[in-house]
Amino acid sequence: MEIKAVGIMGSNTTGTGAAELFLKNGYQVRLYDDFKDSLNVALAKISWSLKQAGTEELMGNIEGVQDLSKFNGADIVIEAAAKSPEERKLYFTKLRKHLDQHCVVAARCGVQPLSEIVEYTELPKERALGFHFIKPVRTNLLVEVVRTDHTKDEYLEAATNLLRKIGKTPVIIKDNPGQIVERLTRPFMLAALRLLESGKGYPHEIDEAFKEVSGAQFGPFELADFAGLDADLRATEAIYKALGSPERLAPSPTQLRLVQYGQLGRKTTIGYYIYEEGRIVGENPVLPNMIKYLGLKKTFKEDIFAELMRPVVEEARLLASEIMASEYDIETAAKLGFGWPRGPFAFSRDMAKVLEKKKVSEFDKLDTF
């Protein structure tokens, strides 16, 4: 099976970015959205980008639609917009009437297991799979491709070939809560918050220490602000619940309070950092009021890195055993998803001495200084 015609549900950032990539690689695209204004803005963004690249003639290959019947004839329909379970059930119920018998359906699948989505939307099990595009969609190479036990190989192969043709690196994953990237984000971010809450550094100190030791482009607090603290908290709560509420993945009260304050990261110009025109110009002044000994317990950079990476390595090993994922796939997803030079298994081998757990001193156990 070869995919030529692509339907995308949702003109949000993910949908718009994906539509542009498919256009630039020679595909016919139909972009759906309920809201006409949102659709027009998305098409204007794509048009502008194509003009800048000198390929504005490709706009003839995309059509904005507001009727799901326009997906009749599509080889694949990709769900890009985040919707509630009730909304998804409604949309997919309408969509099923217009799908060709060999049309692949790629549900948005970053946190919730695909099997749950298929069950309540009643999608055709053998043709249903999950796509998890990693932002920024235009430039990040990774797409997690999620399969269930019912997904037929021919449709999975067609979908992964499609992604490769637009320059993406697909990593096929057996369905589980959070897949790889979101699952590993939980221990990484929660470890950063534990460091913050225990006074072992300000956000910028923790971020800088991690970047310097690991060679990564971003630290945990920078990544959380980029993703949005509300989205990060929802993912933490969902994965925590889906895995049976293990203590290691319990949501952080600090993050919950920031979300309650409406301080959600870049999109609200304040999260762990303050932003001006997209640049960091300070740290959130609320943090010293929330955290008793913020930044007072000076910690070596290597120790900060170790406290961040150890739980990620442990979670990666657990995940590999749960879904029989290969070390290669987990390493690839982590490197591309987080922008790390190495994945957790490579870090555990190459920096074994740094990651050795040190004996906790009596001083570290004290609540006061």
Q: Residue 138's domain is classified under what CATH number?
A: 3.40.50.720
Same domain? For 72 and 153 the reply is yes
Same domain? For 153 and 287 the reply is no
- Domain residues for 147? 5-174
0.95 cut: is pTM over it? Answer: no
Q: What does the alpha-carbon distance between residue 187 and residue 315 come to, in Å, rounded to a whole number?
A: 7
Same domain? For 40 and 159 the reply is yes
Q: What is the pLDDT of residue 365?
A: 56
Confidence of residue 232 (pLDDT cuts 50, 70, 90): very high
- Range list of β-strands (E), the chain: 5-9, 28-32, 62-65, 76-79, 104-108, 128-133, 142-147, 169-174, 273-276, 279-283
Does any domain span residue 346? yes
Same domain? For 142 and 227 the reply is no
Same domain? For 162 and 185 the reply is no
Angle at 125 between CA 122 and CA 127, to 5 degrees: 115
Q: What does the alpha-carbon distance between residue 211 and residue 265 come to, in Å, rounded to a whole number?
A: 19
Does any domain span residue 139? yes
Q: What does the alpha-carbon distance between residue 244 and residue 129 come to, in Å, rounded to a whole number?
A: 24
Does any domain span residue 291? yes
One-letter amino acid at 203 equals P
Same domain? For 100 and 209 the reply is no
Q: What does the alpha-carbon distance between residue 21 and residue 167 come to, in Å, rounded to a whole number?
A: 9
Across 254-267, b (16+ Cβ under 10 Å) vs e yields bbeebbeeebbbbe
One-letter amino acid at 176 equals N
Does any domain span residue 15? yes
Same domain? For 93 and 197 the reply is no
Does any domain span residue 335? yes
Does any domain span residue 369? no
Q: What is the pLDDT of residue 280?
A: 97
Instruction: Tell how far CA 114 is from the center of its chain.
Output: 15
pLDDT in tens, 315-363: 999 999 998 889 999 999 999 999 999 999 999 999 999 999 876 655 5
- Between the alpha carbon of residue 142 and those of residues 35, 108, 164, the distances in Å are 29, 14, 10
Same domain? For 203 and 136 the reply is no
Same domain? For 145 and 261 the reply is no
Inform me whether the pLDDT recorded for 266 exceeds 60.
Answer: yes
Inform me whether the pLDDT recorded for 256 exceeds 70.
Answer: yes
Indicate left, alpha or beta for 128 from its phi (over 0: left) and psi (-120 to 50: alpha): beta
Report the number of distinct structural domains present in the chain.
2
Same domain? For 134 and 223 the reply is no
CATH of the domain at 248: 1.10.1040.50
CB 272 within 8 A of CB 224: yes
Q: What is the pLDDT of residue 366?
A: 52
Same domain? For 276 and 235 the reply is yes
Average pLDDT over residues 75-80: 97
Does any domain span residue 315? yes
Q: What is the pLDDT of residue 369?
A: 40
Confidence of residue 122 (pLDDT cuts 50, 70, 90): confident
Inform me whether the pLDDT recorded for 269 exceeds 70.
Answer: yes
CB 8 within 8 A of CB 78: yes
Q: Helices 181-197 and 253-260 sit at what angle, rounded to 10 degrees? A: 90
Confidence of residue 272 (pLDDT cuts 50, 70, 90): very high
- Range list of β-strands (E), 81-188: 104-108, 128-133, 142-147, 169-174
Q: What is the pLDDT of residue 360?
A: 60
Q: What does the alpha-carbon distance between residue 318 and residue 331 come to, in Å, rounded to a whole number?
A: 14
Same domain? For 235 and 278 the reply is yes
Confidence of residue 1 (pLDDT cuts 50, 70, 90): confident
Average pLDDT over residues 93-115: 93
Average pLDDT over residues 215-242: 97
Residue in the block written with tokens 């409604």: 90
Give me Rg for the CA atoms of the chain: 22
Give the chain's mean pLDDT: 94
Domain finish residue from 140, 159, 174: 174
Does any domain span residue 263? yes
Domain finish residue from 117, 142, 174: 174
